[in-house]
Chains A and B, each alone.
Chain A
Amino acid sequence: GAGVSQSPRYKVAKRGQDVALRCDPISGHVSLFWYQQALGQGPEFLTYFQNEAQLDKSGLPSDRFFAERPEGSVSTLKIQRTQQEDSAVYLCASSLQKDTQYFGPGTRLTVL
């Protein structure tokens, strides 16, 4: 069956550029999570949506990071004025409620 998909899989950006990363959750999943994974580290929570409502954005590292899920399905993570320290894999996960989370393949962002 269809799992969580993310696009693009790889993104190279010049420092200062804006980027947008897309997540398509499993159909019918209410909860959607974004995580950031630096090289050699475990994923770290960024933000959480329940349907279209962003209920927790405590993990977003700066105000350059913005996420939305306007219709309660597809979500976009936007990073403005990218910096080198933003280089990481960005993972999206969805779950039916707050139970088992299923992850997408991630988007590897490299900021030059």
Chain B
Amino acid sequence: DAKTTQPTSMDCAEGRAANLPCNHSTISGNEYVYWYRQIHSQGPQYIIHGLKNNETNEMASLIITEDRKSSTLILPHATLRDTAVYYCIAHGSSNTGKLIFGQGTTLQVKP
């Protein structure tokens, strides 16, 4: 799976949109971009994933650039409960399908 690069930390004001960037310049054609988050003392929680097209669900939106070398996770109206470590993972189902986590971005939502 391709390596991803994320900022170490970000702050966001409560009620504002949180935009979390991720670079995955070596992503291959069959690899999806997955986003998970991990709230303190909990297991990672699946948020969203996409291949080429932008995706939206009840939790977030995922914007993938046309060249697929980067993406942005958007939490439209961040709340204090969105404070967590956010992991961007480029993942194909080759081999065993194991996920390779990096350090992630620690998002701090402030009142």
Is the beta-carbon distance between A101 and B99 smaller than 8 angstroms?
yes
A residues in contact (CB < 8 Å) with B: 4, 31, 33, 35, 41-45, 48, 55-56, 59, 91, 93, 95, 97-106
> Contact at A99–B93, with CB atoms within 8 Å?
yes
Chain B nearest CB, measured from A86 CB (Å): 19
CA distance A104 to B38 in the complex (A): 11
Task: Tell whether, in the assembled complex, residue B44 and residue A91 are in contact, meaning their CB atoms are under 8 Å apart.
Answer: yes
Q: How far is the CB of B83 from chain A (nearest CB, A)?
A: 16
Return B91 CB to nearest CB of chain A, in Å: 9
* Stretch among B19-27, B62-70, B101-109 lining the A interface: B101-109
> How far apart are the CA atoms of A48 and B93 in the complex, in Å?
13
| Interface contact A100-B98, CB-CB below 8 Å | no
Q: Using a Cβ–Cβ cut-off of 8 Å, how many residues does chain B contribute to the interface with A? A: 21
Q: Tell me if B100 is interfacial: C-beta within 8 Å of chain A.
A: yes
Question: What residues on A are CB-neighbors of B101 within 8 Å?
Answer: 42-44
Residues A48 and B103 in contact, CB atoms below 8 Å apart: no
Of all chain B residues, the one with the shortest Cβ separation from A56 is B96
Q: CB-nearest residue of chain B relative to A101?
A: B99
A100 to B87, CA, bound (A): 14
Q: List 21 A-B contacts (CB under 8 A).
A: A33-B99, A42-B101, A42-B102, A43-B44, A43-B99, A45-B98, A45-B100, A55-B96, A91-B44, A93-B43, A93-B99, A95-B97, A98-B96, A99-B93, A99-B97, A100-B34, A100-B46, A100-B49, A103-B36, A104-B43, A106-B42
Task: Please state if A42 and B97 are interface contacts (CB–CB under 8 Å).
Answer: no
User: Min CB distance, B72 to chain A, in Å?
Assistant: 20
**Residue ID in chain B nearest A9 by CB atoms:** B41
